[in-house]
Amino acid sequence: MKLSRKTVPLCALVLTLLFAATEFNPISAESRDQLEKTDQLTIAVRRLTESQYRHTIRDVFSPEVEINARFEPEQREGGLLAIGSAMLSLTSSGFEQYFALASSISDQVLGDELRESVMPCIPVAAIDHDCVRQFVSRFGELLFRRPLSAAELDARVATAETGASQAQDFYAGLKLALTSLLVAPEFLFRVETAELSTASAHEYRLNAYSMATRLSFLFWDTTPDKILLDAAASGALYAESGLQSQIARLSESPQMAEGIEAFFVDMMQIDGFENMVKDPAIYPKFNQLVSDSAREQMLLTINDLLITNGGDYRDIFTSNKTFINRALAAVYRVPYTSQEEWAAYEFPEDSERAGLITQIGPMSLWAHPGTSSPTRRGIKIHEIFMCEPTPDPPADVDFSLVQDSTKGTTRGRLLDHMENAGCSSCHGRSDPAGLALEHFDGLGQFRTLENGVFIDVSATLYDGSKFTGAQGLGEFLHDDPRIPSCLVRNVFSYGVAQLPRYEDRDYLQEQTELFANNGYRISTLFEEIASTAEFYHVRIPEGIKANSEVIATTP
Amino acid sequence: MKFRLNRRSLLRGMVGSATVSMGIPLLDIFLNENGTAYADGSRVPVRFGTYFWGLGLTDTPAGGTRWVPEKIGSGYEVTPELKAIAGLKDKISVFSGFRAIPDTKPNLVHWSGHASILSGTAPSTTSRFEAASFDTRIADAIGTSTRFKSVNIDASVSRRPISYSTRSGSTFSSPDVTPLELYNRLFGEGYQDPNSDNWQPNPEIMLRQSVLSAVTDQRQALMKSIGKDDREKLDQYFSSVRDMENQLAVQLQRPEPREACILPRAPEELPKAASVDVVNANTKVMARLLAMGLACDQTRVFNFVHTGGTSETYIAGERKIYHQITHDEPTDTLLGYQPQSSKLAGLVMEGLGAFLEELDGVKEGDGTLLDNCLVMAFSDTGYAKIHSIDNIPILFAGGAGGRHKTGQHIHEEGSSVTRVSLTAMQLAGAPVGEFGTGSMRTSNPITEVIA
């Protein structure tokens, strides 16, 4: 990762934000004999995201299962929900939701319509011990992403049989067992474990099922399938050839589009569209359909450019090939002649559009209910695409010096801010990229005037780079070295759901070079990262209890 | 599972808990018999809630203020920004001059203020508290005999749901964000009419209990060889499972009749906008549902967010949002304050007025529901233009069943906000004698408001 920009304090800041404090390294044991053979450490507990939950239910049972629930809010850390998921637990109201949802899924899966396609056996009586065990162990493995322990299996079998004998109905009991799997922490959280490596008695390695899970969620955004779990069970994943054949299988599948899309939804913060509000008096064309369509447009664009066509990642800042529907066409003020719901469309040169970030989605999301916001747009561009988070504003800024701007434009008001030393430290960084986008209002509609005054869209970044307008910004971003290095860092962090460590610098640098050599292709980047040992690296969390005396003996 | 506070359990709690000291005023609270009663003579429970609004109230650079009354003690005068609560002022105490004290930590703007009030500790990072929010301690004390230990509501129509209630400091509760969601929680599936003559236990509930026992059976295996943070996450998960078990246990018991309880009708959908008129309308509808939820004893603890810390509400049709205005608007030289900000502050307070009126509109015992509540309303900042965490406005509304000596203005220049929080906990019935850390550590509640 290259951090050769000129402002030194900024670099220091970025470095501290980019790299998590160095945690202590793979722990070695004095001797393997000191540990029980079954010894496993839980090294991470991550809450399943909404999309991972939905994909898992669909893939394990059926696409017909309806999932109507409100999921617990997710939280972004280090720019990614994936990292935030490792910090979240479940609140009481969240658990209520999952409990009700689990019952509803069980009712559907074991209801009249789906039961036949799902059941591995036909029960011979209300109590059919073997059939319950078959069901619980098959679906338990897919849901827990590893085979169930005897105790886990027995507990569910007991639940099913109690219920079945009370209701004198096999499926009534089995529904309870399935519900119990679906509310278990082993399902709702991705529990990653490490075990002593067979190759070296002094190192922990990621458990094969945890490897399979990392792979599956990265490539497919869903639970590992039976083939992947079998590769974990046989130990094949520990061998280079076994790992490579699984990576090849995962990346050749059309399901990989979902994995890549899930990554971009997380990284580009393509969320919040369902809660976006605009003032109807100022933006009469805005409604929920526009908001939902704007999101869809972003996904279609990414899909087409980066997945279907395997294009150069950097082209998202310059390519104007996209898709529109009738609702968006009205906001873009272009005719919509297609009879289909969506149609391919390419913005002409004079539209001043430049790639994904100038679409309605980002332009309206990174704005206020009644105005554009160059500050918010600039912050988001730096944070999302360049991995440069803007620090919190200092609390002691003397706002009493800020006077109402008499300039007619938002730009004028912000430039007034920048004359104030207290404001300029942050606004000087955040605003310029956003100022270049001022020809798009708070809904992403093209304009050249604001309050009757022509809007100047020239901008100078804090490092001295100059450009004009959205297209100038797009070209600048396309060629900026921070863009690919930030993406590589994000794919890695997303996959391991952790901030990179300081020691990962060289590794990330190498991966960035490889990414460039491979033509900035996303799918190749996924494959490369999943092929490296760093992707499966075990970080022992703080305060682990078992065998503390062994763990304390660092080499 | 079920526990009631009586003198004996309180004493047990004192011995068993980590609480260091319990002041005399606290004991007085538990011993007093001022509480109101239902017609049949049974005691009306005390309810507790927080009410949060963003961006504080307006001070003036010259040292004046648009909200702090001049008169101290009872019979304070109504100031411009408190106009919305004028009708209920005899049931409301106003606290001014209290501040969050971050010691060596930075003032994290729009975060340190309420994080300090709620958790007692100045936060180190935005988005997290260093400790649980104190409403959870009240819920643990008074919320275990109802279906919901607490109910969380966000009326702000924000991009992301807002809640400041947390047990772990990092996972915040997921609030109901529309009237319909709130209605479904309180009166949808699982609601049992406390006044029904032919109540029967639902046998399904016992089956649902068996689902959870299979989960909790595995707790030990899961907790083996695990790091500190992961253990905390799973602890919270299992505590949520326990709350669910408690909820099911409550549903298996015949509910006590509640004379004030009338099942409300499902609410209509409101327009989706974050402008202050819509947020206030939302607040009113959700307050009405909540009031009935309290009257029907579905919960005794709630947390209500009107607008978030960096409030994005605005006056419909105007381009700038409230947050932007608080910073940008210059002080009017003639008036001596920011007129537009002060206008918005007044509008935001109308939300609180409407909220409290809904609670006061429900007759209960020989008074109103509000008389049996303690609502602690507060904000993230004092004077928002400069991100001040001095003089953060805090109000106590409702009589707390006779425990709260209402209608006073308490002014303590520079005193820690945690003193107000501690007072709230004690008035609400949580066995807590000390609260906060660093300069905000206190075992000194505000005795003037304790009856």
pLDDT digits (tens, 9 = 90+) for B300-354: 999 999 999 989 899 998 888 999 899 888 888 889 999 999 999 999 999 999 9
| Partner A, chain B 305-334, Cβ-Cβ below 8 Å | 312, 314, 316-321, 324, 327-331
Enumerate residues 6+ apart whose C-beta is below 8 A from A549. Answer: none
Counting every residue written for chain A, the total comes to 555
Residue A14 clears pLDDT 60, i.e. is over it: no
Percentage of the residues of chain A whose pLDDT score is greater than 90 = 75
Best A91, A171, A413 member to test B by mutation, with max B CBs in 10 Å, is A91
Banded pLDDT at B280 (limits 50, 70, 90):
very high
Residue B110 has what pLDDT? 93
Interface of B with A in 149-178 (CB under 8 A): 149-150, 152, 157-161, 167-168, 170-175
* Contact state of B207 with A176 under an 8 Å Cβ cutoff: yes
Neighbours of A121 (CB within 10 A): 13
pLDDT band at B17 (very low <50, low <70, confident <90, very high): very low
Is B273's CB within 8 Å of A279's CB? yes
Residue boundaries of the structural domains of chain A: 46-188, 265-479
Structure token pair of residue A110 = 């074991």
What ipTM, to 2 d.p.? 0.88
Three-state SS string over A174-195 comes to: HHHHHHHHHCCHHHHEEEEEEE
Give residue for tokens 């703007």.
Answer: B109
- In the DSSP assignment, the letter for residue A440 is B
User: What's the pLDDT band for B22 if we cut at 50, 70, 90?
Assistant: very low
Average pLDDT, chain A: 88
CB-based contact, B180 to chain A, within 8 Å: no
Q: How far apart are CA A330 and CA A285, in angstroms?
A: 8
Parallel/antiparallel/unpaired status of strands A189-196 and A204-206: antiparallel
Residue B60 forms contact with A (CB below 8 Å): no
- Taking CB atoms and an 8 Å limit, are B244 and A93 in contact across chains? no
Q: How far is CA B250 from CA B3, B146, B194, B241, in A?
A: 12, 7, 12, 14
Of A455, A444, A512, the residue nearest A483 (C-alpha): A512
A159: DSSP letter: H
Q: Is the CA virtual torsion A79, A83, A89, A90 positive or negative?
A: positive
Cα separation, B306 vs B155, whole angstroms: 5
**Cα B207 from chain centroid (whole Å):** 34
Which pLDDT tens digit goes with each residue over A411-450?
Answer: 887 777 777 777 777 788 888 999 999 999 999 999 999 8
Q: Quote the tokens at residue B133.
A: 């929010």
Own/partner contacts of A242-249, CB < 8 Å, gap of 24 or more, are A243/A211, A243/A531, A244/A531, A246/A212, A246/A215, A247/A215, A247/A219, A247/A527, A247/A530, A247/A531, A248/A527
Contacting A residues, span 191-250, partner chain B, CB-CB under 8 Å: 191
Q: Are B219 and A155 in contact (CB under 8 A)?
A: no
Residues of B in contact with A155 (CB under 8 A): 213-214, 217-218
Q: pTM to 2 decimals?
A: 0.86
Write out pLDDT tens, residues A343-373. 999 999 999 999 999 999 999 999 999 999 9
Q: Does CATH place domain B7-199+254-449 in 3.40.720?
A: yes
A402 and chain B: CB distance < 8 Å anywhere?
Answer: yes
Q: Which of A202, A270, A211 is nearest to A240 (CA)?
A: A211
Structure tokens at A112: 């009249």
Q: What is the identity of the amino acid at B392?
A: I
Mean pLDDT of all residues in A305-331: 97
Q: Cβ(A56)–Cβ(A223) under 8 Å?
A: yes
Q: How confident is the model at residue A407 (pLDDT cuts 50, 70, 90)?
A: low
Tokens of B393: 């406005």
Q: Which DSSP string corresponds to A274-304?
A: GG----TTT-TT--HHHHHHHHHHHHHHHII
According to the model, what pLDDT value does residue A163 have? 93
Q: Look-up: residue for tokens 């419909």?
A: B316
pLDDT (tens digit per residue) in A263-292: 999 999 999 898 899 998 999 999 999 999
Q: B131-147, pLDDT tens digit by residue?
A: 999 999 999 999 999 99
Mean pLDDT of A388-410: 69
B240 touches chain A (CB under 8 A): yes
Pair A98, A109: CB distance under 8 Å: no
Span B399-434, pLDDT tens digits: 999 999 999 999 999 999 999 999 999 999 999 999
Interface membership of A34 toward B (CB under 8 Å): no
> Which residues of chain A does B233 touch, with a Cβ-Cβ cutoff of 8 Å?
45, 47, 87-89, 189
Domain layout of chain B by residue ranges: 7-199+254-449
pLDDT at residue A406, rounded to an integer = 59
Report how far residue A398's alpha carbon sits from residue A253's, in angstroms, rounded to the nearest whole number.
57
Reported as type and span, the H/E element at residue A423 is helix A421-435
Q: Residue B276 has which token pair?
A: 């202050």
CB within 8 Å of B325: residues ≥ 6 apart:
B338, B340, B341, B344
Q: Which of B108, B129, B106 is nearest to B119 (CA)?
A: B129
Burial of A284 (0-12, 13-18, 19+ CB in 10 A): exposed
Residue among B228, B320, B327 whose CB faces A399 most closely: B327
For residue B34, the number of C-alpha atoms closer than 13 Å in the C-beta half-sphere is: 17
Q: What are residue A515's phi and psi, to 5 degrees?
A: -60, -45
CA A365 – CA A373 distance, rounded (Å): 10
**CA–CA distance, B359 with B291 (Å, rounded to integer):** 5
Query: Do B414 and B392 form a contact (C-beta atoms < 8 A)?
Result: no
Nearest to B159 among A40, A191, A272 (CB): A272
SS (H, E, C) chain B: CCCCCCHHHHHHHHHHCCCCCCCHHHHHHHHCCCCCECCCCCECCCEEEEEEECCECCECCCCCECCCCCCCEECCCCCHHHHHHHHHHHHEEEEECCECCCCCCCCCCCCHHHHHHHHCCCCCCCCCCCCCCCHHHHHHHHCCCCCECCEEEECCCCCCCCCCCECCCCCECCCECCHHHHHHHHHCCCCCCCCCCCCCCCHHHHHHHHHHHHHHCCHHHHCCCECHHHHHHHHHHHHHHHHHHHHHHHHCCCCCCCCCCCCCCCCCCCCCCCEHHHHHHHHHHHHHHHHHHHHCCCECEEEEECCCCCCCCECCCCCCCHHHHHHHCCCCCCCCCCHHHHHHHHHHHHHHHHHHHHHHCCEECCEECHHHEEEEEEECCCEHHHCCCCCCCEEEECCHHHCECCCEEEECCCCEHHHHHHHHHHHHCCCCCCECCHHHCECCCCHHHEC
Q: Which of A145, A159, A272, A275 has its CA nearest to residue A214? A: A145
The pLDDT-based confidence of A310 (bands split at 50, 70, 90) is: very high
Q: What is the pLDDT of residue B26?
A: 39
